[in-house]
């Protein structure tokens, strides 16, 4: 007598119901991934491109600048939501962006987005690009100001050294596109700059106790350094 491998209708129905129950059970055990937590972050825009048009600035397609951002200028801080954000500079009234960058912004981040030129040659200005620089909002030591330096002279391949006039060296080498650590300085301190092939006078940022500063440097040639002071608080 041959064995039969076909189930009766009743047995087949029972097995089907058992399989469906198992599928439901397994499905219920697979949890949906938790959404990434979101929170607030803070950003400022800086136009560091000599000769550029005034810029409208956008976050995720929404215009954030009430007044177009001219060369050398920085916006006030904008509160944004953490996660992926698109930051765009666009010539005032233009339909398309000049440049931009997309960043995955962590909760609580505090940073600038600079528009600047990449490395240039004597005859060919570098491409206009955008990039972030974080801000350390920790209060300075009592009676001191706090400052860091950013090298954005696209014609100058040499590093920049900064010292206090009549005082200590602060940093011996800030390369192009890089920022230094923060340093404590006395109120009213003046700064001296040095780089191979560059002759420049002292600068007076007007340091005030309790304040935090970013000073970025640019120039129209490899022999020029101009300092631009941003007050962070």
Classified by CATH at the fold level, domain 36-135 comes out as Immunoglobulin-like (2.60.40)
What's the whole-model pTM score? Answer: 0.82
| CA pair distance 112, 42, nearest whole angstrom | 9
Architecture of domain 140-233: Sandwich (2.60)
pLDDT, one tens digit for every residue, the chain (233 residues): 444 333 344 444 443 344 434 444 444 455 666 767 889 999 999 999 999 999 999 999 999 988 999 999 999 999 999 999 999 999 998 877 889 999 999 999 999 999 999 999 988 989 999 999 999 999 999 999 999 999 999 999 999 999 999 998 999 989 999 999 999 999 999 999 988 888 777 889 999 999 999 999 999 999 999 999 999 99
- pLDDT score of 138: 93
Alpha helices in the chain (DSSP H): 9-29
φ, ψ for residue 122, nearest 5 deg: -60, -35
Please name which of 146, 145, 117 lies closest in space to residue 131, comparing C-alpha atoms: 117
Rounded to 5°, angle at Cα 228 from 223 and 232: 150
| CA pair distance 119, 130, nearest whole angstrom | 13
φ, ψ for residue 164, nearest 5 deg: -85, 130
DSSP letter at 95 equals S
Q: Where in the chain is the domain with CATH 2.60.40.2890?
A: 140-233
| CA pair distance 152, 117, nearest whole angstrom | 8
């Amino acid at each position: 007598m041959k064995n039969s491998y076909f189930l009766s209708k009743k047995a087949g129905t029972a097995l089907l119901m058992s399989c469906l129950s198992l599928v439901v059970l397994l499905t219920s055990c697979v949890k949906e991934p938790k959404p990434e937590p979101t929170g607030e972050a803070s950003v400022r825009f800086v136009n560091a491109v000599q000769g550029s048009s005034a810029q409208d600035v956008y976050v995720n397609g929404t215009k954030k600048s009430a007044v177009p951002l001219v060369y050398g200028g920085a916006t006030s801080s904008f509160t944004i939501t953490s996660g992926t954000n698109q930051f765009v500079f666009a010539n005032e009234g233009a339909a398309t962006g000049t440049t931009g960058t997309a960043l995955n912004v962590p909760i609580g981040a505090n940073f600038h987005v600079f528009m600047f030129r990449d490395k240039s040659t004597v005859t060919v200005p570098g491409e206009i690009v955008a990039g972030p620089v974080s801000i350390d909002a920790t209060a300075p030591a009592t009676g001191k100001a706090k400052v860091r330096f950013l090298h954005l002279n696209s014609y100058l391949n040499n590093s920049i050294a900064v010292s206090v006039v009549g005082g200590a060296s602060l940093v011996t080498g800030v390369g192009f596109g890089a920022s230094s650590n923060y340093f404590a300085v006395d109120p009213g301190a003046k700064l001296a700059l040095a780089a191979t092939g560059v002759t420049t006078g002292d600068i007076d940022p007007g340091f005030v106790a309790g304040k935090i500063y970013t000073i970025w440097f640019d120039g129209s040639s490899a022999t020029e350094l101009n300092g631009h002071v941003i007050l962070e608080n």
